[in-house]
């Protein structure tokens, strides 16, 4: 299992994917970003680092994650055969651990004793707290106050793991503001602290580095599809918040022109209601959190507050490589509403006995719509980025609410 | 072309003193309220004002300026209001630069913003999250519209980056005295003096302003002993709570501070 490989499509030396990406951050952070870039380049070329990371991915995370064909769900997909990539089965319950272990090892390599992270759904926070416990690093997680309430289970998990969770009460009190607070902490404590960013957004080198740590998803899935079906899938689907699970599964298929790449964003109440988080569907290029990318912003360049039932997708930005893939036409991005995602959440639970994270339910809902377009017999690979234990409270409220009205 | 701020630094140099630069966000507490407060800063003794553009995601700002920016945005301030505030300062004979995170300018159009700011009488722009490496369009627009471009350096900046940033700068170089976000502090960081002397090795003759943390006349005097400008932000935002008299009084205290060193020399 090789996880860190030279990738086919690279940004330029300063982290630009076409016009997107780059570094729109205070000068105070540049030295740390340069150090991270250098240490990462060095680690990529170090067989010992790669062996250690692959060892953890196998023995600790439980990789490779399996693929599971889901015929009872596929009955609702117009004849297409849906195959799930089971990132929900990873230790800690989502894809986030792939990137976290890589960056945690880099933190050790840089000799920094302290790690900070942002989290939305809490999955990245839990994965970070886990890796810090494993490696004996101090861990502080910033989480929007709204998210600490809707993902309370994960707050408890992080605290059990020894992390300090700081509820963020500024702005929209969700993921965007958690990243703002993490950046403020980083600027203040950068000598001792690594900012373990949880998605493919942020200043260079985060988008390329986080992508590389998640490529294992697509590399495994590609081999697994070839081994089981003797061919590549017709399409690959994933949900897109910041875009890490999507780029992880997309990237190894980018040079396969026959494979459609489709990302599903959170459309909340609907893209035309204004209450959504569908950045690539409805945004325009702008800078947020250190990179130029599509952004939900008003006509004055102020970031717009987003809405999604899914804390992990409730973010007005997106990783710059996705902006580039959208503009080049190599990938497509479509919106999925809260209601569509929750229907898929329930359908997957009831037809296959798999309770997905609400984030991942957006990808499942997308697949159910993509299936009929692909036609009978098509193979549709869906990244099931996480499991739904954390979302049971939200689900109880959502479905009870529907019952009251029916 | 010489810097738009060159006459200011020449005049202060002739007085053997540092310049006093005060920051307040436009639109705080209201657009007209901010006009009056910025006016009071100049009346009280500031040599230059930084008119801040309120922004939804101010990652280099501490709680004081965050709260003021949020209040200004809630009250509905727009980028065109910021330009009108600059215009009224310039019309009254005051000197103003704009301090802004980059996305509002990007969205407005970099060249259009430079053109409109120059037309309003603004002298330059301070860019806390734009480094020269990413600033090609801004450098071209600033050149075309004869505006100063004021970049930041930090204690963590390497010698190579200090030199490159100074080379891209016109007007003055903004030295953040501490690693951290804006906010008044009790003591002036010792990193400030070290950073200023490092800058001087790389950029002889370029004025250096020191900001982040200064809040009273005594601290201003201390910074004025080694820097060409003392920059005060959060303390003015706090003083704005006491209205025009509060802001004027703080400016006067700071103005005395930046002259203390000159008085000792005389
Ligand atoms: C299970 C799961 N999937 C997806 C996401 C969205 O992040 P990304 O788009 O970076 O994969 C999250 C984020 O919290 C998550 O927990």
> Are the C-beta atoms of A96 and A124 separated by less than 8 Å?
yes
Residue A38 within a domain = yes
**CA-proximal residue: ligand 1, atom 14 (nearest):** A312
Residues in chain B: 266
Q: Do A110 and A235 belong together in one domain? A: no
| CATH assignment of the domain containing A106 | 3.40.50.1100
Q: Summarize pLDDT for A350-389 with one digit per residue, the tens.
A: 999 999 999 999 999 999 999 999 999 999 999 999 999 9
Residue ranges of domains in chain B: 6-151+229-257
Q: Do A173 and A226 belong together in one domain? A: no
Q: Nearest 5°: phi and psi at A93?
A: 95, 10
Residue A6 within a domain = no
**A207 CB near ligand 1 (under 6 Å):** no
ipTM of this predicted complex? Answer: 0.96
From residue B236, alpha-carbon distances to A355, B26, B176, B179, B249 in Å are 53, 13, 17, 21, 10
- Among A169, A187, A206, identify where a domain stops: A206
Domain of residue A37 covers 17-56+96-206
- Among A206, A224, A244, identify where a domain stops: A206
Q: Do A305 and A317 belong together in one domain? A: yes
Residue A12 within a domain = no
Residue A1 within a domain = no
Ligand 1 center–CA A328 separation, angstroms = 24
Q: Do A304 and A358 belong together in one domain? A: yes
Residue A305 burial (CB count, 10 A) = 18
Rg (CA), chain A: 19
What is the residue-level pLDDT of chain B in tens, covering all 266 positions? 799 999 999 999 999 999 999 999 999 999 999 999 999 999 999 999 999 999 999 999 999 999 999 999 999 999 999 999 999 999 999 999 999 999 999 999 999 999 999 999 999 999 999 999 999 999 999 999 999 999 999 999 999 999 999 999 999 999 998 888 887 677 667 889 999 999 999 888 999 999 878 999 999 999 999 999 999 999 999 999 999 999 999 999 999 999 997 777 66
Q: Do A287 and A339 belong together in one domain? A: yes
> Are the C-beta atoms of A239 and A245 separated by less than 8 Å?
yes
Assign B41 to helix, strand or coil. Answer: helix
Confidence (pLDDT) at A6: 41
Closest to A286 (Cβ–Cβ): which among B70, B103, B155? B103
Q: Summarize pLDDT for A139-150 with one digit per residue, the tens.
A: 999 999 999 998
Q: Do A125 and A200 belong together in one domain? A: yes
Q: Do A192 and A312 belong together in one domain? A: no
Q: Do A160 and A246 belong together in one domain? A: no
Closest Cα in chain A, distance from residue B111 (Å): 15
Over pLDDT 90: what percentage of chain A?
95
Q: Do A49 and A65 belong together in one domain? A: no
Confidence (pLDDT) at B4: 98
pLDDT higher than 50, residue A216: yes
Residue A11 within a domain = no
Q: Tell me the C-alpha distance between B176 and A368, whole Å.
A: 53
Closest Cα in chain A, distance from residue B18 (Å): 24
Domain count, chain A: 2
Asked if B57 lies within 8 A of A303 by C-beta distance, the reply is yes
> Are the C-beta atoms of B179 and B154 separated by less than 8 Å?
yes
Over pLDDT 70: what percentage of chain A?
96
Q: Do A178 and A33 belong together in one domain? A: yes
Architecture of domain B6-151+229-257: Alpha-Beta Barrel (3.20)
- Among A151, A183, A206, identify where a domain stops: A206
Q: Do A45 and A179 belong together in one domain? A: yes
From residue A208, alpha-carbon distances to A11, A205, A213, A242, A315 in Å are 7, 6, 9, 13, 19
Q: Do A86 and A124 belong together in one domain? A: no
């Amino acid at each position: 299992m090789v996880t860190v490989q030279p990738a086919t499509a690279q940004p330029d030396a300063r982290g630009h994917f076409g016009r997107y990406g780059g570094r729109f951050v205070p000068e105070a952070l540049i030295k740390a970003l340069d150090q991270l870039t250098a240490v990462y380049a060095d680690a990529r070329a170090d067989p010992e680092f790669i062996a250690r990371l692959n060892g953890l991915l196998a023995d600790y995370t439980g990789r490779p994650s399996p693929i599971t064909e889901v015929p009872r769900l596929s009955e609702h997909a117009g004849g297409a055969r849906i195959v799930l990539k089971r990132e929900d089965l990873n230790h800690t319950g989502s894809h986030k651990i792939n990137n976290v272990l890589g960056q945690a090892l880099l933190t050790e390599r840089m000799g920094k004793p302290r790690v900070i992270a942002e989290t939305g759904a809490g999955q990245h926070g839990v994965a970070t707290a886990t890796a810090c416990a494993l490696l004996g690093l101090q861990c502080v997680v910033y989480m929007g106050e709204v998210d600490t309430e809707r993902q309370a289970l994960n707050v408890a998990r992080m605290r059990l793991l020894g992390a300090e969770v700081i509820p963020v009460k500024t702005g929209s009190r969700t993921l965007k503001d958690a990243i703002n607070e993490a950046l403020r902490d980083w600027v203040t404590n950068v000598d001792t602290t690594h900012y373990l960013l949880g998605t493919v957004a942020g200043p260079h080198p985060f988008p390329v580095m986080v992508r590389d740590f998640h490529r294992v998803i697509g590399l495994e899935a590609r081999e697994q599809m070839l081994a089981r079906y003797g061919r590549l899938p017709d399409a690959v689907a994933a949900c897109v918040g910041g875009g890490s699970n999507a780029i992880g599964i997309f990237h190894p298929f980018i040079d396969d022109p026959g494979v459609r790449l489709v990302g599903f964003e959170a459309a909340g109440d609907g893209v035309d209601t204004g209450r959504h988080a569908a950045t690539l569907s409805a945004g325009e290029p702008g800078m947020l959190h250190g990179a130029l990318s599509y952004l939900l912003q008003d006509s004055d360049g102020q970031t717009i507050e987003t809405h999604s039932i899914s804390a992990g997708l409730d973010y007005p930005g997106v990783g710059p490589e996705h902006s580039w893939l959208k503009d080049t036409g190599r990938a497509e991005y479509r919106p999925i509403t809260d209601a569509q995602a929750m229907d898929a959440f329930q359908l997957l639970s009831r037809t296959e006995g798999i309770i997905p994270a609400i984030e991942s339910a957006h990808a499942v809902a997308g697949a159910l719509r993509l299936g009929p377009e692909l036609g009978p017999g098509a193979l549709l690979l869906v990244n099931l980025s996480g499991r739904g234990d954390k979302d049971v409270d939200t689900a109880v409220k959502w479905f009870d609410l529907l019952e009251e009205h029916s | 072309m010489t810097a738009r701020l060159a006459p200011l630094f020449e005049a202060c140099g002739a007085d053997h003193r540092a310049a006093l630069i005060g920051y307040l966000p436009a639109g705080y507490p209201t657009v007209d309220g901010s006009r009056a407060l910025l006016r009071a800063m100049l009346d009280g003794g500031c040599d230059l004002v930084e008119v801040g553009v309120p922004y939804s995601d101010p990652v280099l700002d501490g709680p004081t300026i965050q709260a003021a920016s949020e209040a200004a945005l809630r009250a509905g301030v727009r980028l065109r209001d910021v330009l009108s505030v600059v215009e009224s300062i310039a019309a009254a004979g005051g000197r103003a630069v704009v301090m802004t995170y980059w996305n509002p300018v990007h969205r407005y159009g970099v060249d259009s913003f430079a053109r409109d700011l120059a037309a309003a009488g603004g002298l330059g722009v301070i860019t806390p999250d734009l480094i020269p490496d990413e600033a090609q369009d801004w450098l071209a627009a600033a050149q075309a519209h004869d505006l100063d471009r004021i970049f930041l350096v930090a204690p963590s900046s390497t010698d190579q980056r200090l030199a490159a940033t100074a080379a891209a700068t016109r007007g003055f170089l903004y030295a953040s005295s501490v690693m951290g976000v804006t906010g008044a502090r009790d003591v002036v960081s010792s990193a400030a003096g070290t950073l200023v002397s490092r800058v001087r090795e790389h950029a002889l003759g370029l004025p250096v302003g020191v900001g982040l943390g200064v809040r009273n006349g005594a601290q201003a005097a201390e910074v004025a002993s080694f820097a060409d400008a003392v920059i005060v932000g959060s303390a003015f935002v706090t003083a704005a709570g006491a209205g025009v008299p509060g802001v004027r009084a703080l400016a006067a205290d700071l103005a005395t501070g930046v002259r203390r060193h000159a008085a000792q020399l005389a």
